[in-house]
Amino acid sequence: MGKFKKPVPKKAKCEDCGRSFGNERDLGQHCSRAHAPATNHEENNPPVEFLGKDNATSKLYIITPLPGKGQGLIAVQDISKGTRILSDKPLFRIERFGSAPPVVLEKAIASKLDLLSQNDRRTFLSLHNNELDASYPLTGIVKTNALPLGTNASEGGLFPLASRINHACVPNCQHTWNDNIGEETIHSIRRISKGEEITISYADLGTFESRRRHLRKSFGFDCNCELCSLPEAARVMSDSHQSEIQRLDELLGDGSRLLSNPGRCLEDVHTLLALLEAENITDARLPRAYYDAFQIAIAHGDQARAKVFAQRAYEARLCCEGEDSPLTTRMKCLVARPAGHRLFGTSNRWKLSEKMVPKTLEGEEFEAWLWRRNG
């Protein structure tokens, strides 16, 4: 199974947006949703105000109409970073639609609905439908709202609450399918103020133009989030960061490079992290980058740095997904025993015991050691 011992499998591509996903490095989400053109929200979904049921006592959010967006979730109190805002069971699961004809999909969805309680069926039918084509209303609802059930998922889920969350290009929440509990979790990845909208990203889409094209074509709206509203000069700068983030992320998926040129790969992770910070990105790409650094270190026998990277990956994963997520649990085990990773022993180039994490270094000096910047 060793990613870097055997040739790295070619990354699968999201059928919808073409973004790579699905190798074991991709611990985060790929394109989150099925895609469909727009229709008028307010017509399809009469406004309802809904109090966050998972948090009925603490009232973290309400579901309410938002100008130009249909419905969405608004925080009704300050929410600290790393909070599980909600955890949602799917109404039903459905295979990724691929290229099946709509009439077949419509039938498949109808047979799923037959198995639901009247209440759940009503909830499904109340979800937003972006499709202009009224001939396949069930397919439209699924395409607008389905979230993938995992990174390599062949299935998507329809959710009463999570499917109500709107998109932002730099969102304040991470959505994750948690296979341990069989629910979609939504975690705050930065502090959210009372009155702020709760948002997730429907896909990591790169530059302003590519985001705009994709969101218009697939979801029928023009995004006016903070990132998409930057003035021209700032947007040019952000676009160059976003492109570089995508390039480095792809590059780090090349396992053979990690074996032949670990120093350069580590440098790339360091650059990637700086760019994520510059773009205020604290989503699942953060733990993934630290996990990349962990793998580089452990593949070359450096258990000391691997331990530090594992700890950082664990903390970032915990924030995005919570303690009960399979990936958080896995990272916790690797913090305890970095050598438990299958790549350990691939090479002894940087061999260093776990006990060799320097105790006297702090701040910049520690970072210089960690990233091997001392020559």
Member of 219, 294, 314, 344 binding ligand SAM (CB under 6 A): 219
DSSP summary character for residue 207 = S
DSSP labels, 117-136: -HHHHHHHHHS----S-TT-
Distance of CA 140 to the CA centre of its chain: 23
Contact track, ligand SAM, 123-152, x by CB under 6 A: ----xx-x-------------xx-------
CB-based contact 331:278 (threshold 8 Å): no
In this structure, what are the phi and psi dihedrals at residue 298, rounded to the nearest 5 degrees? -70, -30
**Among 70-78, 94-102, 279-287, 338-346, which window interacts with ligand SAM (CB under 6 A)?**
70-78
- Comparing CB distances to ligand SAM, the nearer of 33 and 312 is 33
**Among 162-170, 172-180, 263-271, 280-288, which window interacts with ligand SAM (CB under 6 A)?**
162-170
Gap between the Cα atoms of 317 and 353, Å rounded: 25
**Which residue pairs, CB below 8 angstroms and at least 24 apart, start in 240-245?**
241/275, 241/278, 241/279, 242/206, 242/207, 242/279, 243/206, 243/207, 244/271, 244/275, 245/206, 245/272, 245/275, 245/276, 245/279, 245/281, 245/285
Position 221 contacts ligand SAM (CB under 6 A)? yes
- Comparing CB distances to ligand SAM, the nearer of 38 and 339 is 38
DSSP summary character for residue 185 = E
CB of residue 96 vs ligand SAM: minimum separation in angstroms? 17
Position 163 contacts ligand SAM (CB under 6 A)? yes
Member of 164, 211, 307, 317 binding ligand SAM (CB under 6 A): 164
Position 369 contacts ligand SAM (CB under 6 A)? no
Residues between 302 and 361 with contacts to ligand SAM, criterion CB under 6 A: none
Position 3 contacts ligand SAM (CB under 6 A)? no
Gap between the Cα atoms of 323 and 53, Å rounded: 21
- Comparing CB distances to ligand SAM, the nearer of 133 and 365 is 133
Position 175 contacts ligand SAM (CB under 6 A)? no
Position 223 contacts ligand SAM (CB under 6 A)? yes
DSSP 3-state of 283: coil
By CB under 6 A, how many residues form the interface with ligand SAM? Answer: 23
Binding site for ligand SAM (CB under 6 A): 38, 41, 45, 68-72, 127-128, 130, 144-145, 163-164, 166-168, 219-221, 223, 225
